[in-house]
Structure 1
Amino acid sequence: MANVEILATMLLMGMILGFAGTGGSGFIIGILLAVFHIPVHTALGTSIAAMVFTTLSGSVSHFREGNARLRSGLIIGTFGAGGAYAGTFVARMIAAEQLIWLTSGMLFISGLLIWLRTSKVFAAKEQALAEESAEIKKVRFWVLAAVTGLVTGSLSGVFGIGSTPFIQLALLILFGFPLKQAVGTTMVVILPIALFGSIGFFQAGFLDFVLLTQVVAGTMIGSYIGAKFTKRAPKLLLRTAMIMTPIAGSLLMLVNT
């Protein structure tokens, strides 16, 4: 396993992810498993740790653009951090082969949720959902924040994924966020989830810092380049790329079984 090969692969993958506008944690896991034969628990730990860096830059960018509700995102993310940390203990108890199948299934579901989120039927309802849920009472907000954070955080901790489509749909439907703010706030929510999830995997000995450096360097540089082509691409191509990225990661994982 050559370091240059991993870096080059992550650079190419980052370009694809940057173009599609997805976090791509599942794709990272699939590549590490199928191509470089990294143990599944280490692949999950590396993936969720890499999200700390990618979501940090994304959160700052979205906040500056006014696309993120910082307070709401941090509250939900704090609950999510607890769920993610606890989820890593569950991941440690799951056998490698079973974990591969479970994570693959979650990635496939993520692809279906992205398809739902980008469908014309859902898009037509977004404004109505936002208007209906614009005023959430404080008690209801805290209950929804706790449930959303704990559920999505646990999914991230167990499966090493960012749970992006799950969080976005929750913000859109349960909290009534406009689409742009749902996208931006999701980055804020994922940040503490990824941080505490990576701490859990590190404590379990499933975090390879050399591998993490290669993944982060490659994907961040590649993502910056790939994002330059997003505006030039047809919407159908972008939607297809967004849906197929987690599904491709799911199929790649199964190659290793």
Structure 2
Amino acid sequence: MQLIEISLVMILLGLLLGFVGAGGSGFIIAILTVVFGYPIHTALGTALAAMFFSSLSGSVSHYREGNMVLKTGILVGASGAMGAWFSSGWSSFIPEEKLGWMTSGMLFASGLALWFRMAFMGKQAAQNGVPAATITWRYAVNAVLVGGVTGALSGLFGIGSTPFIQLGLMVLLGLPMRYAAGTTMLVIIPIALAGGAGYFTLGYLDVPLLLAVVAGTMSGSYVGAKFTKRVPVAWLKVCMVVTPMIGATILLL
């Protein structure tokens, strides 16, 4: 019965995550630990693995909607996968109570970082233009940097680092907000796969729980992605910032 309840909650969560282009691992961790009482290490491993499936579903929808820069997503995602694989093993050395606070802090920081970019660094991110098609060597270096850093954060804290990825895509790679949201979903796929595999080797992956989470988030995220370019940019900006902060607040309860 509890797994059915989890699936229903994840459908609602998936709608929001698909809309803002988030894998939502941090939000999932908060719900699993605080609402349903799972140990945080198990929640981290399960949520990160589930993020692979929800991001896959959301990516297909974003690609069909024209919200994605494919080459950029592949390059950032590949480097992010390497960072997530190496850092996922480090979380086992962090006590549960400290890991919960650290994960909450990272979620708050990610929301604040994205808000800072939107509020103080111009209106370029809110534009709806088409990104440049050519990838220069400097662009490639920045893409690897964005992927490596955000992937390491994902593996260590079990979060998708969605706002950090979006921030890197907008600031360092110059993607407009709509394309940053869609491309982020593609980036999260290899990061979640590598990080989830790392947690699996440590025994922190609950398969029945994973199936329940996946069933809900995949359904919701596919539908949620349909609304990304159909609502005002201001709404998208607010949801991008508020989403990780809500997850962080739940973790502190």
**TM-score normalised to the size of structure 1?**
0.84
Name the residue aligned to 1:147: 145
SS in structure 2 at match of 1:161: coil
Give the alignment partner of residue 185 of structure 2, picking from 187, 205, 212. Answer: 187
**Structure 1 position 20, deviation (Å):** 5.5
How many angstroms apart in 2 are the aligned matches of 1:182 and 1:175? 9
**Structure 1 position 83, deviation (Å):** 0.3
Name the residue aligned to 1:61: 61
Name the residue aligned to 1:137: 136
SS in structure 1 at match of 2:252: helix
Consecutive unaligned residues in structure 2, runs of 5 or more: none
Residues 139-175 of structure 1 show CA distances to partners (whole Å, capped at 9, x for unaligned) of x233222221110000000111111111111111112
CA pair 246-154 structure 1, distance change in 2 beyond 3 A: same
1:147-226 map, 5 Å: 147-224=145-222
Q: Does 1:88 align with 2:88?
A: yes
Relative to structure 2, which stretch is displaced further, 221-230 or 142-151?
Answer: 221-230
Consecutive unaligned residues in structure 1, runs of 5 or more: none
How many angstroms apart in 2 are the aligned matches of 1:176 and 1:134? 12
Q: Does 1:43 align with 2:43?
A: yes
Relative to structure 2, which stretch is displaced further, 192-201 or 239-248?
Answer: 239-248
CA contact (8 A) 2:62 2:225 kept: no
**Structure 1 position 108, deviation (Å):** 0.6
**Structure 1 position 226, deviation (Å):** 5.5
SS in structure 2 at match of 1:207: coil
Query: Aligned residues: percent identity?
Result: 53
How many angstroms apart in 1 are the aligned matches of 2:227 and 2:134? 38
Relative to structure 2, which stretch is displaced further, 72-81 or 97-106?
Answer: 72-81
Q: Which amino acid aligns with 1:71?
A: K
CA contact (8 A) 1:11 1:218 kept: yes
**Structure 1 position 194, deviation (Å):** 0.7
How many angstroms apart in 2 are the aligned matches of 1:192 and 1:149? 10
**TM-score normalised to the size of structure 2?**
0.85
Residues 197-224 of structure 1 show CA distances to partners (whole Å, capped at 9, x for unaligned) of 0100111101111001111112233445
Q: How many residues align?
A: 252
Name the residue aligned to 1:108: 108
CA pair 74-237 structure 1, distance change in 2 beyond 3 A: closer
CA pair 64-123 structure 1, distance change in 2 beyond 3 A: farther
Relative to structure 2, which stretch is displaced further, 143-152 or 172-181?
Answer: 172-181
**Structure 1 position 232, deviation (Å):** 8.3
Q: Which amino acid aligns with 2:190?
A: P
Name the residue aligned to 1:7: 7
SS in structure 1 at match of 2:123: helix
SS in structure 2 at match of 1:63: helix
CA contact (8 A) 1:104 1:253 kept: yes
CA contact (8 A) 1:51 1:194 kept: yes
Q: Which amino acid aligns with 2:104?
A: S
How many angstroms apart in 2 are the aligned matches of 1:239 and 1:136? 27
CA pair 68-242 structure 1, distance change in 2 beyond 3 A: closer
Q: CA RMSD in A?
A: 3.0
Q: Which amino acid aligns with 1:163?
A: S
CA pair 37-211 structure 1, distance change in 2 beyond 3 A: same
CA pair 18-135 structure 1, distance change in 2 beyond 3 A: closer
Q: Which amino acid aligns with 2:185?
A: M
Residues 104-155 of structure 1 show CA distances to partners (whole Å, capped at 9, x for unaligned) of 0000112213323444x54524489x99x987631x2332222211100000
CA contact (8 A) 2:25 2:48 kept: yes
Query: Larger Rg: 1 or 2?
Result: 1
